[in-house]
Amino acid sequence: MWILDSAIRSGGVDLWHKDGTVQKCHHEYDPPFYLHLKDADLHHEMIGALEEHYRAEPCTFTTIFGEREGYAVYAGRPVAEAIEQQTQFAAQLFNVDVRRDQRFMAENAIVPCCADPSDRFSPLFEHGLNCMEIRIRDDPARDQTCSDIEIVCERTERLHGQEKTVLADLFGLIAASDPDLILMTDADRWMSKLQERARVLGLEMPFSRNGKYRTMDSRSYWSYGRVEHKEAALIPDGRILIDTEQSFVYREGGLAGVLMASRLSGLSPSLASRFTPGTLISSYETYEAVRRGIVVPFRKSDAEVLRKFSALKTADRGGMMFQPEPGIFADVDEIDFTSMYPSIIVKANLSPETIAHPEREQRGFLPTALEPLLDLRIRTKHLKKTDPAIAGIDAILKWMLVTCFGYTGYKNAKFGRIEVHEGITGRSRDILLQTKDIAEEMGFRVLHGIVDCLWVQGSPAAALQERVDRETGMPTELEHFSWIVFLPLNDGLGAYNRYYGRLSDGSVKVRGIAARRHDTPEYIRTMQGAMLAVMGKASTIAELDGQWDPVNAIYRNAVEQLPSAPAQDMAISRRISRLTYAHRCIEGAAVNAYRECGVPVAPGMKIRYVVRDARMYQVDPAWHADRFDIPYYRELLDRAWAEITYAFRAGRAAGRERQKSPAMRMQQRICAERP
């Protein structure tokens, strides 16, 4: 039974499955939540009322810490919250907020997007879904109606003209094609508008197979130190609807990544495509717990233990980093630990219930739950080298496993605990130091290290990798750079996360520079990308110097063409953190410009704007821009150019150093060391 959608309807669960045709099966399902009280006698009146009004039954249930005696209460979340208030939060509650459809599938060994549950962790699968792609060319930020739509199904059709005609044709094509999957640009920003316009125009919107829709509210929230924003969503029953612009999961993993996320989390693909990797890993752990008969806590109650400040200072130090020496270096190998943090969880048996004694024989919940996910990631990382179709699945697994570490320290994590978080980072520091010691013992020069990777010069790198894998017990990947550039900070020391270099296959790997940053205007990104492509042709530092003229020509052409460049190519994308600003700034001016155009803004939203006059803090929303501040953008262009020219300056300095005789270098070193 290949499940493509699930919904909580009519006191039960609707499962939409595809077996040739798509059909709906309704399952009556009203599960209880569980209640545990340390002293039930103190609350006998409340328990009596629960037994009388809500069918509360004595029972035994299993938590990750062992069995508990309590009650199964057949009621909803409002009753659970009332119990919390009446017991002054002494009650321990479980399975209160587990999604009903997810819980039903977990309890009945049903896996979404998977005909055979035993194939859940297989990266190779086919879906057989009928797909339609809807590309809306209008801008949802400023347009209320659709007048220009491109439909890609069995053939490509362009709908353009009056609103009612365009919408009627769109709805007719959906009804006639009856797709299982709809890929739609800015779906979450358009669906409510389409629903309202359909009502006004007397049209029937056929996105849902039964006329029903689920809603998700818009919200702003904090995540990893910054404000994020999630758009409201209107999700149809019986079909998969993916927002191709706003979905992080689709953007990173494509359709294969969305379907794999659905398999792992036990959520419908429409929901899985709209959630963050953190929510997906949390949902995966919830599904695994329910599947194993373990209840899921409503509120985390295992508070951090009291510790001395010295112990806390030792434990809570985060990941290890070695500051690099800025410059350009030849023949460098990067040793990268595959999913280091989840590997540590699995190998060291770190879980809330085992953190005090991780060496004990009984394995914890987190290690056993993450192990198949980790094994799958190791497999997909290998497979994607020969099968590009696996890359999307690998990307989603990477993000889920990355966030599983942060989730262990999240204050509201169902299966998290800060001591687990600290235990992971503590072991990662030891592993990186151990790897550094092994490399130096084998005669390698360590250039840089950051949390789970190390850059070294020397040979043979394969022998180093084999020894690191064997002695640390952690899987690694090896990448060879023909040359690599570590950029400097303003104080002259090396930047931790700003570098680029040519890999052995001729591609250029970049981190932290303009071509990689999301807020870089397209004009500047294109310029720097073209430069890096030319530099990638040089397999040695000496050959790189020979690429100066074509690289410089790209810069000169970019400077010359800047005044006549399209204003749209100067758009800067930023995620706003607030709506009011104490001081005048470009970002605040952009927020006001959006408001003046009648576009609602919220913290965490991404906005796109063009700077018209930087000195006067005048900006335009990207769609209104027809001119831009040339000196302002020239400065941005020159910053990107400086990141490139540094490689040539450093390469020539290294060349002059190599030309010196050993005696000259020794004399220079002695002079430098004299007081």
In whole angstroms, what separates CA 106 from the centre of its chain?
24
User: How sure is the predictor about 218, in pLDDT bands with cuts at 50, 70 and 90?
Assistant: confident
> Residue 167 corresponds to which amino acid?
L
For residue 450, give every residue at least 6 positions away whose Cβ sits within 8 Å of its Cβ, in sequence order, or none: 319, 321, 322, 496, 497
pLDDT of the residue at 662: 52
Q: Are residues 518 and 655 in the same domain?
A: yes
Rounded CA-CA distance 492/500 in Å is 17
In whole angstroms, what separates CA 472 from the centre of its chain?
28
Rounded CA-CA distance 631/562 in Å is 10
pLDDT of the residue at 657: 63
CB atoms within 10 A of CB 342: 27
pLDDT of the residue at 127: 87
Would the pLDDT of 313 be above 70?
no
Rounded CA-CA distance 291/109 in Å is 7
Q: What is the Cα Rg of the chain in Å?
A: 29
What phi, psi does 321 have (nearest 5°)? Answer: -140, 145
Final residue belonging to a domain, choices 468, 503, 538: 503
Rounded CA-CA distance 594/578 in Å is 13
Instruction: Read off the pLDDT of residues 422-478 as tens digits, 9 standing for 90 and up.
Output: 889 889 999 999 999 999 999 999 999 998 999 999 999 999 999 999 999 999 999
Rounded CA-CA distance 431/451 in Å is 9
Which of the 8 DSSP states describes residue 119?
G
Q: Is residue 5 in a domain?
A: no
Q: Is residue 20 in a domain?
A: no
pLDDT of the residue at 306: 66
User: How sure is the predictor about 421, in pLDDT bands with cuts at 50, 70 and 90?
Assistant: confident
Instruction: Read off the pLDDT of residues 77-135 as tens digits, 9 standing for 90 and up.
Output: 999 999 999 999 999 999 999 999 999 999 999 999 998 899 999 998 788 899 999 99
Distance in angstroms between the alpha carbons of the first and the last residue of the chain:
79
Distance (Å) of CA 46 to CA 87, 174, 518: 9, 53, 55
Q: Are residues 410 and 381 in the same domain?
A: yes
Max avg pLDDT among 146-160, 210-224, 649-663: 146-160
The DSSP bridge pattern shows strands 213-216 and 233-236 to be antiparallel
Range of the domain at 577: 572-624
Count Cβ atoms within 10 A of the Cβ of residue 130 and give its class: 0-12 exposed, 13-18 middle, 19 or more buried: middle
For residue 640, give every residue at least 6 positions away whose Cβ sits within 8 Å of its Cβ, in sequence order, or none: 513, 514, 515, 520, 524, 527, 528
CB atoms within 10 A of CB 526: 15
Beta bridge partners of 609: 572, 621
Would the pLDDT of 496 be above 80?
yes
Which of residues 281 and 222 earns the better pLDDT score? 281
Q: Are residues 524 and 661 in the same domain?
A: yes
Rounded CA-CA distance 318/341 in Å is 12
User: How sure is the predictor about 223, in pLDDT bands with cuts at 50, 70 and 90?
Assistant: low
Q: Are residues 379 and 462 in the same domain?
A: yes
Would the pLDDT of 675 be above 90?
no
pLDDT of the residue at 145: 84
SS3 511: strand
Mean pLDDT of the chain: 90
CB atoms within 10 A of CB 166: 19
Q: Are residues 37 and 84 in the same domain?
A: yes
Would the pLDDT of 163 be above 80?
yes
Interhelix angle 44-53/77-86, rounded to 10 degrees, is: 160
Instruction: Read off the pLDDT of residues 601-644 as tens digits, 9 standing for 90 and up.
Output: 888 888 999 999 999 999 999 998 999 999 999 999 999 999 99
Q: Are residues 66 and 131 in the same domain?
A: no
How many distinct structural domains can be found in the chain?
A: 5
Q: Is residue 10 in a domain?
A: no
Q: What is the DSSP string of 550-607?
A: HHHHHHHHHHHHGGGS-GGGG-EEEE---S--SS--HHHHHHHHHHHTT----TT-EE
> Residue 662 corresponds to which amino acid?
P
Which of the 8 DSSP states describes residue 150?
E
Q: Are residues 554 and 579 in the same domain?
A: no
Handedness of CA 599, 601, 607, 613 (dihedral sign): positive
Exposure string for 101-119, b = 16+ CB within 10 A, e = fewer: bbbbbbeeebbbbbbeeee
> Residue 598 corresponds to which amino acid?
G
Angle at the Cα of 540 from the Cα atoms of 538 and 545, rounded to 5 degrees: 65
Would the pLDDT of 305 be above 70?
no
Q: Is residue 107 in a domain?
A: no
Q: Is residue 508 in a domain?
A: no
Would the pLDDT of 664 be above 70?
no
SS3 461: helix
Q: Is residue 639 in a domain?
A: yes
Rounded CA-CA distance 486/493 in Å is 10
Cis peptide bond N-terminal to 662, omega within 30 = no
Final residue belonging to a domain, choices 257, 291, 325: 291
Would the pLDDT of 349 be above 60?
yes
Distance (Å) of CA 79 to CA 33, 90, 299, 464: 10, 15, 15, 59
Which of the 8 DSSP states describes residue 135?
E
Q: pLDDT > 90: what percent of the chain?
A: 73
User: How sure is the predictor about 56, in pLDDT bands with cuts at 50, 70 and 90?
Assistant: very high
Q: Is residue 166 in a domain?
A: yes
Final residue belonging to a domain, choices 465, 483, 503: 503
pLDDT of the residue at 316: 63
The CATH number for 279's domain is 3.30.420.10
Select from 230, 258, 259, 264 the least CA-distant residue to 244: 258
Q: Is residue 365 in a domain?
A: yes
45-59, 225-239, 400-414, 659-673: least confident range: 659-673
For residue 326, give every residue at least 6 positions away whose Cβ sits within 8 Å of its Cβ, in sequence order, or none: 486, 487, 488, 489, 492, 493, 494, 495, 646, 650
Would the pLDDT of 229 be above 90?
no
In whole angstroms, what separates CA 573 from the centre of its chain?
18
Beta bridge partners of 34: 72, 94
Q: Are residues 90 and 140 in the same domain?
A: no
Distance (Å) of CA 214 to CA 6, 423, 509: 11, 41, 42
Q: Are residues 576 and 498 in the same domain?
A: no
Q: Are residues 468 and 374 in the same domain?
A: yes
Q: Are residues 166 and 182 in the same domain?
A: yes
Q: Are residues 124 and 181 in the same domain?
A: yes
User: How sure is the predictor about 665, in pLDDT bands with cuts at 50, 70 and 90?
Assistant: very low
SS3 364: coil
For residue 638, give every residue at least 6 positions away whose Cβ sits within 8 Å of its Cβ, in sequence order, or none: none
Q: pLDDT > 70: what percent of the chain?
A: 94
Rounded CA-CA distance 325/483 in Å is 14
